[in-house]
Amino acid sequence: MNHTASPLDNLNCSKNDMFKYPLYSTVFSIVFVVGLITNIVALYIFTCSLKLRNETTTYMMNLVVSDLLFVFTLPLRVFYFINKNWPFGGIFCQISVSLFYTNMYGSMLFLTCISVDRFLAIVHPFRSRMLRTKRNARIVCVAVWVLVLSGSLPTGFLLNSTTKDTDGNTFCFENFSSNTWKSHLSKVVIFIETVGFLIPLLLNVCCSIMVLQTLRRPQTVSRGGKVNKTKILRMIIVHLCIFCFCFIPYNVNLVFYALVRTKTIKGCFTESVVRTIYPIALCIAVSNCCFDPIVYYFTSETIQNSFKRKSQASRSFDVKFSEAMQSESSPSLQWSLKNLKAKVFHNESSV
């Protein structure tokens, strides 16, 4: 997670990135407290309080699990950054690193799933009805976990993740040589940047643009009127801003970092800039655990409003059906009206 150069690499370039340790310990402590509280609250809401559960909430619950798994490892990382020594053994270092990449790229993929699901619901509401089911959402979530773990576990477990310096201090996932970067880590970067970053980024941007264009059309039908449309627009903008803010700086810098470490790009100035930006970008990426609940809030608000509208419509139908059934004594007519009402509300879908 923190790739510090080996002392044998680039001897002519001075490396002054020790500021990262107090930065990491401070930011990771804040992320641990805020991320733990907000994600536990979100998990409680999704499992106990939210009345309407659909495909979107399935993706969000998996995103909560991904965030919590990573948050639980942060105290170990904070201890390591404060003491500059990893006393917990190689296995816990590998687990910590694996969960970091699982969380980062799992978050990007689950946010992408939410964006694609929203795109299908708004742009293709009728054609996507058979695709947007809870069963298919669970299948997609399983596929995301398999894909993410297939990339993160080899990164954490196939490398010698712990090394020692001359003073006997143990480092966790640091001090990899240029040869290690060339033989293994550069390939990992290519894979995670393509599958875990570029493709999700393009999908998020394209889906958001098409949804915004659809909602801004005068002929777009919105059950909730202008108020509901404004809330959905706000939710999409917040979603896209959080995705870009958290993940673009780190992943762009990671590409340049890999190029510097493999000596594809040379020069002390470039290396100094990349090494300075890397800890800052990493802290921003880790903060996604705190920003994800904002997505939950806006999305859950929309779902709850939709549920309220359905309840109000149901009460309105109840009044009309009661009046109709009071005026008609035929049992067959009463049964037909009840059956029609059930079909109407069974087929109604919400965003």
For the segment 56-73, the average pLDDT, to the nearest whole number, is 92
Element (H, E) at 302: helix 288-327
Q: Is the pLDDT of residue 185 over 50?
A: yes
Structure confidence at residue 72 (pLDDT): 93
Q: Indicate the DSSP class of residue 163.
A: E
> Within a 10 A sphere around the Cβ of 20, how many other Cβ atoms?
18
Contact by Cβ (8 Å): 96, 172: yes
Q: Is the pLDDT of residue 249 over 90?
A: yes
For the segment 53-66, the average pLDDT, to the nearest whole number, is 89
For the segment 69-76, the average pLDDT, to the nearest whole number, is 92
Average pLDDT, the chain: 79
Structure confidence at residue 284 (pLDDT): 95
Element (H, E) at 151: helix 134-157
- Residues recorded for the chain: 351
To the nearest 10°, report the CA torsion of 34, 37, 43, 48: -150
DSSP 23-62: HHHHHHHHHHHHHHHHHHHHHHIIIII-S---HHHHHHHH
- Residue 213 CA to residue 301 CA, distance in Å, equals 22
3-state secondary structure of 11: coil
- Residue 233 CA to residue 231 CA, distance in Å, equals 5
Structure confidence at residue 123 (pLDDT): 87
For the segment 250-260, the average pLDDT, to the nearest whole number, is 89
265-301 pLDDT, tens digit per residue, is 888 888 889 889 999 999 999 999 999 888 887 776 5
3-state secondary structure of 220: coil
Q: Which residues of 135-172 are buried (b: 16+ CB within 10 A; e: fewer)?
A: eebeebbeebbeebeebbbebbeebebbbeeeeeebbb
Q: How confident is the model at residue 337 (pLDDT cuts 50, 70, 90)?
A: very low
To the nearest 10 degrees (0 to 180), the angle between helices 186-193 and 225-261 is: 160
- Residue 255 CA to residue 194 CA, distance in Å, equals 11
Q: Is the pLDDT of residue 304 over 70?
A: no
- Give the range among 28-37, 62-71, 269-278, 314-323 with minimum mean pLDDT: 314-323
Work out the percent of the chain whose per-residue pLDDT is above 70.
Answer: 74
Q: How confident is the model at residue 10 (pLDDT cuts 50, 70, 90)?
A: very low
156 against 221, higher pLDDT: 156
Q: Is the pLDDT of residue 329 over 60?
A: no
What structural domains and CATH numbers belong to the chain? Answer: 20-347 (1.20.1070.10)
For the segment 179-195, the average pLDDT, to the nearest whole number, is 77
Structure confidence at residue 252 (pLDDT): 93
The tokens describing 197, both together, are 């970053």
For the segment 236-250, the average pLDDT, to the nearest whole number, is 91
For the segment 112-117, the average pLDDT, to the nearest whole number, is 92
For the segment 316-336, the average pLDDT, to the nearest whole number, is 50
Q: Is the pLDDT of residue 44 over 90?
A: no
Q: How confident is the model at residue 139 (pLDDT cuts 50, 70, 90)?
A: very high
DSSP 237-286: HHHHHHHHHHHHHHHHHHHHHHHHHTTSS--HHHHHHHHHHHHHHHHHHH
Q: Which of 223, 216, 234 is nearest to 298 (CA)?
A: 234
Structure confidence at residue 333 (pLDDT): 44
Structure confidence at residue 227 (pLDDT): 47
